[in-house]
Amino acid sequence: MDAQRVYEPGIYSLTWTHYEQALGLRKSHLDLLHRSPAHLQAELLEPSPPTDAMQWGARFHAYLLEPAVFDASYAVVEDKLDRRTKEGRAAWEDWQEAIPGKEAIDRPTMRELEAMRDSVMSHPHAAAALTGGQAERSIFWTHTLAVAEPIACKGRLDYITRHRFILDVKTAKDARADAFSRACWDYRYHVQAAYYLDGYGAASGQDAEGVLIVAVEKTPPYALEVYLVNDEMIEQGRREYLEDVRVYAECLAADKWPGYTQEIKSITLPGWAQERTY
């Protein structure tokens, strides 16, 4: 890997590229490590390209939280260009020359982004929370374990409200509590909440008031819910991330990154499937 820039503990306004290039263990690393240390090592040696979902999330976050960044990074293509044809390729090249360095967004996608933003900003609590704060802040801190060298950590906070809540914007298939709580488990949002909460305290020297999640659906009518992450969810996330960091420290010290176990295991259907009666 290339040498990474080291930031002193603190809160910084950085571009996504500069954040990516900075040294630090981040939440996505913890998720890979939780699967196996070998998965994390593979990602560190050869980072994966962003998925379509990640690219969509980046567009929406920029449009909602950093309009100036969105305008500098994206431009709308009004007409669908068929680049399989000679005329389409020529029109595409003309468009790229007119708007250098920008990513193209078609008009239907732009309408979806506008509708999602309007839905968020029409929600009284979401709109209030997203007013007067700081968007897209990068935090850096050092995690100290008694049995290991200090570990550089980092996080990218969607928004810090004026009342010092950490606010995270999530797109969801279903924003209702039952469905979204399952997404919290699947994507380990509880780990992220605890990691960012503790990281903010270490980076800023003061405690955040809590973690808010704005969960907005990706399909019409783009309904949303605003959730306050409760103490039980934070505590479970903290236990899990501390264990992940401990394992990371051990792997780093030994320079060994094991995969899955080498044992033969028994497998059965999940509990919900066993309970079905046919």
169-208 residue pLDDT tens:
999 999 999 999 999 999 999 999 999 999 999 999 999 9
Q: How many domains does the chain have?
A: 1
Cα angle: 189, vertex 234, 191; to 5 degrees: 35
Average pLDDT for the chain? 91
Q: How confident is the model at residue 257 (pLDDT cuts 50, 70, 90)?
A: very high
In a domain, 76, yes or no: no
Type of residue found at 101? G
CA distance 219 to 254: 47
In a domain, 130, yes or no: yes
Does 276 have pLDDT greater than 60?
A: yes
pLDDT tens digits, 119-136: 999 999 999 999 999 999
CATH number of the domain at 18, please. Answer: 3.90.320.10
Q: How confident is the model at residue 274 (pLDDT cuts 50, 70, 90)?
A: confident
- Owning domain of residue 151: 10-47+124-258
The DSSP annotation for 70-81 comes to: HHHHEEEESS--
In a domain, 155, yes or no: yes
In a domain, 160, yes or no: yes
More confident residue, 145 or 263: 263
Three-class SS state of 254: helix
What does the pLDDT average to over 146-150? Answer: 75
Continuous segment of H or E residues that includes residue 186: helix 177-186
In a domain, 22, yes or no: yes
In this structure, what token pair is assigned to residue 269? 């259907």
In a domain, 27, yes or no: yes
Q: How many residues does the chain have?
A: 278
What does the pLDDT average to over 258-275? Answer: 88
CA distance 204 to 103: 34
Does 62 have pLDDT greater than 80?
A: yes
Task: Judge contact between 40 and 57, C-beta under 8 A.
Answer: no
In this structure, what token pair is assigned to residue 245? 């960091």
CA distance 119 to 222: 6
Tell me 5's DSSP state: B
> Counting beta carbons within 10 angstroms of the beta carbon of residue 154, is it exposed (0 to 12), middle (13 to 18) or buried (19 or more)?
buried
Does 2 have pLDDT greater than 60?
A: no
pLDDT tens digits, 77-120: 766 666 677 766 666 666 666 677 788 888 889 999 999 999 99
In a domain, 197, yes or no: yes
CA distance 43 to 157: 22
CA distance 85 to 88: 5
In a domain, 77, yes or no: no
> Counting beta carbons within 10 angstroms of the beta carbon of residue 137, is it exposed (0 to 12), middle (13 to 18) or buried (19 or more)?
buried
CA-nearest of 25, 20, 15, 16 to 2 is: 20
Three-class SS state of 255: coil
Q: What is the pLDDT of residue 1?
A: 47
Sequence-distant (≥ 6) Cβ neighbours of residue 32 within 8 angstroms: 39, 40, 43
Does 277 have pLDDT greater than 60?
A: no
CA distance 76 to 69: 14
pLDDT tens digits, 220-235: 999 999 999 999 999 9
Does 5 have pLDDT greater than 80?
A: yes
Where is average pLDDT lowest: 154-158, 199-203, 265-269? 265-269
Task: Judge contact between 123 and 224, C-beta under 8 A.
Answer: yes
